[in-house]
Amino acid sequence: MNPELVQSPRDRAGAGWQAAAIAVAALVLMPVLALGLFALQGSPGLWAHLISNVLPVAVQQTVILLLGVGIIVATLGTVTAWLVASCDFPGRRFFGWALLLPLAVPTYIVAYAYLDLLHPVGPVQGAIRHLLGYSSPREFRLPDIRSMPGCIFLLGMVLYPYVYLPVRALFAMQAGNLLDAGRTLGAGPVATFLRVTLPLARPAVAIGTALALMEAMNDIGAAEFLGVRTLTVSVYSTWINRSDLPGAAQIALAMLAIIMALVLLERRGRKRQRYAAGAQRSQPLRRTRLRGWRTLGAMLVCALPIMLGFVAPACYLVAAAWSRYRFAGLSPRILEEAANTAFFAVVATLVALLLGLVVTGAARLRPGLLTQSMARLSTLGYAVPGTILAIGLLPVIALVDRQISAVSQTLFGAAPGLLLLGSGAALIYAYAARFLAIATGGIEAGLSRVPRSLDHVARTLGRNPVQVFRQVHVPISRPALAASGLLIFVDCVKELPATLLLRPLNFETLSTHLYGEAARGTYEDAAIAALIIVVIGILPVMVLARTIRR
C-alpha cells in the first residue's frame, strides 16, 4: 500500500482546511483585539473618570456578586450531587433529572418573575399578611428583593446545575473501595464525604463553579432589574445612556480581566481532573440507604432548589401568560418577535455548526500543534460574555459598514447605510462566535468515536480527505451535530446582552421584548414571551436528562 494514500496530514486539502481553521480562530479573536484597540481611543480624562467614579463601585459589586454566587452554587451543586449519586431515598431518580430544570430558565426571567411574585402588593406577601392578620404593606413587608443578597440568591438558584452536572458524574465514577476503606478506618458517612469524596471532587467543583460565574458575569437583566450595578450593567449603561463607546470598551476590559481569572481557575481544575478520575473502580459504588429524618432532609434539600429555581417562576409565567391571553389574546407582535428570534437563532446555529465542522475537520485531516491551537482559540468566545463580544464588534462592523457605503457611493451614487448592523449580520456573527465552542466540542466528541482505520480504508478506495470527511465523518457524527445544534439554538434564543447591543433598529426578539417590559414594570405584558423562552429552554434539559439516565 502506498503510504501517501493513508497519510492525510500532508495533503493539500488538509493545508486548505488548516488555513480555514486559522481564519475561524481569527474571526473569534477579532472582537477581543478590537476591544483593546478601541479602548485606547478614549480621552486621557476618561480613564480617570472611570477609575474614580465607575469602576470602584462596579468592580466591588461584581466581586461581591461572584463570591456570593460561587459559594451558593458550589455548596448546593456539590451537596445535591452527592445525595443523588451516593445516597438512596424516595424520589432519588426524579430528583436526578429534575435538578437540571433551572437550566431552562434564564437568569433575567427568574428575576423578572420574582420581582412580581415578591412585590409588596404581590401574591406572596399578600398571602403572608393575610395569614398573619395584617391589612397593609405598611404594617408588614418582606425585605426588598431588589438588593445584592436577593440577586445572589436568585442567581445561585438558577446556576447551581453547572456544578451539579460535573460533580454528579465524578461521584458516580468514584471507586467504591475508596469509600469502603474510609469507613473501615472509622469514618462515618459525613466524615467519609468530607475527607475522601469531597477532596476527589474539587477539580469538578472548580470547573462547574467557574462556568457558573462566567454566566453570572454575562448576566445583565437580572442584575439591572434587582438594582445591582455590575460591570456588565455599567458597560451597557455607558454605551446606551451616554453613547460613550470608548468608555464602555474600557469597562469591558476590566470584565475581561476577571473572566481570564475564571478561565485560569477552570483550566487549573481541569488539569487536576486526572487525579480525581485516576482511581479505577474495582467495585461498584454502593449507595447509603437513608432513614428517618435524614430521608426527609435529603428530599427537602433536593426539592428546594427545584421549587425556587424552576417551579415557582414557571408557575407564575403560566398564570400571568394565561391572564394576559384572556385579556388581550395573542398579540401579532409576539408572533413577529418569535419569528425574529427563531430566524436569527437558526441562521446563527447553522453558521456555528459550519465553522465547527471547519475547525474539527482541520484538526482531523491535518493534526498538529497549529490546528490544535486554532481549535482551542476558536472556543474562547464562550468564555467571553456577550457584552464584551458586542462592544468589540461594534467598531469593527461600523468601520466595514462605512467602507461599504463609501464604495457604493462612489460606484453607484447611493449609500446603503448600516448594511451589516441594519441587517442583523453583526448579531449572527456575535452568536456564532460566542457559541462556536459548543459546536466544536460536540463535533469533536462525535469524531472521537470514528477510528482512524475508517479514514485509511476510505483513502484506499480513492476518496480524497474532503470526501472522507463529508462521506464518513459527518454521517457518523450526525447525532453529535444534532445535539450541538439544539444547544446552540437554545442559547441564541436566551442570549440577552449581545442582542440588546447589536440588534437592528426597531427590531425586537423575545428576550429584548421581555427586557423592555420588565424595565417599564409591565411584567404581565412580557409573560407570554418569557414562557416561550422557558419552554424552548426545556429542550436541552430533556436531552441532558436522557443522557444521564443512559
Q: How confident is the model at residue 1 (pLDDT cuts 50, 70, 90)?
A: very low
pLDDT surpasses 80 at 420? no
Q: How confident is the model at residue 523 (pLDDT cuts 50, 70, 90)?
A: low
Q: How confident is the model at residue 455 (pLDDT cuts 50, 70, 90)?
A: low
pLDDT in tens, 250-259: 787 777 778 7
pTM equals 0.80
- 524 in a structural domain: no
Distance CA 137, CA 134 (A): 8
Q: Which residues of 429-447 are buried (b: 16+ CB within 10 A; e: fewer)?
A: bbbbbbbbbbbbbbbbebb
pLDDT on residue 282:
45
Question: 186 and 61 share a domain?
Answer: yes
Cβ-contact 39, 244 below 8 angstroms: no
DSSP annotation of 450 reads: S
Distance CA 77, CA 81 (A): 6
Question: 307 and 362 share a domain?
Answer: no
- 522 in a structural domain: no
Question: 179 and 51 share a domain?
Answer: yes
pLDDT surpasses 90 at 224? no
Q: Which three cell numbers stand for residue 165?
A: 452536572
Q: Which three cell numbers stand for residue 369?
A: 500543534
- 532 in a structural domain: no
- SS3 assignment, position 139: coil
- 521 in a structural domain: no
Distance CA 461, CA 456 (A): 9
- 525 in a structural domain: no
Counting residues of the chain whose pLDDT is more than 90, the rounded percentage is: 11
Q: Please name the residue that has the C-alpha cell 459525613.
A: 190
pLDDT surpasses 70 at 52? yes
Which residues partner with 289 through β-bridges? 88
Question: 187 and 312 share a domain?
Answer: yes
Assign residue 202 the CATH number of its domain.
1.10.3720.10
Last residue of a domain, one of 259, 287, 322: 322
Question: 274 and 287 share a domain?
Answer: yes
Question: 387 and 441 share a domain?
Answer: yes
Distance CA 433, CA 351 (A): 9
pLDDT on residue 308:
93
Range of the domain at 123: 42-322
pLDDT in tens, 357-384: 888 877 777 777 777 777 777 777 777 7
Q: Which three cell numbers stand for residue 88?
A: 438512596
- 527 in a structural domain: no
Mean pLDDT of the chain: 78
pLDDT on residue 71:
94
C-alpha dihedral over 514, 517, 521, 524, to 10 degrees? -70
pLDDT on residue 73:
94
Question: 368 and 483 share a domain?
Answer: yes
Question: 302 and 283 share a domain?
Answer: yes
- SS3 assignment, position 277: coil
Cβ-contact 431, 393 below 8 angstroms: no
Last residue of a domain, one of 270, 298, 322: 322
Question: 27 and 84 share a domain?
Answer: no
pLDDT surpasses 60 at 187? no
Question: 406 and 265 share a domain?
Answer: no
What integer is the mean pLDDT of 9-16?
Answer: 57
Question: 148 and 249 share a domain?
Answer: yes
Distance CA 431, CA 358 (A): 17
Question: 245 and 339 share a domain?
Answer: no
pLDDT on residue 44:
63
- SS3 assignment, position 378: coil
Q: How confident is the model at residue 193 (pLDDT cuts 50, 70, 90)?
A: low
Q: How many domains does the chain have?
A: 2
Last residue of a domain, one of 322, 354, 387: 322
pLDDT in tens, 27-40: 888 887 887 777 77
Q: Which three cell numbers stand for residue 439?
A: 459546536
Cβ-contact 375, 363 below 8 angstroms: yes
- SS3 assignment, position 175: coil
pLDDT in tens, 467-492: 777 777 677 777 777 878 888 898 89
- SS3 assignment, position 310: helix
- 452 in a structural domain: yes
pLDDT surpasses 50 at 7? no
Cβ-contact 252, 243 below 8 angstroms: no
pLDDT on residue 390:
81
Cβ-contact 100, 544 below 8 angstroms: yes
pLDDT in tens, 68-105: 999 999 999 999 988 888 788 888 889 988 998 998 88
Q: Which three cell numbers stand for residue 173?
A: 465514577
- 224 in a structural domain: yes
Counting residues of the chain whose pLDDT is more than 70, the rounded percentage is: 80
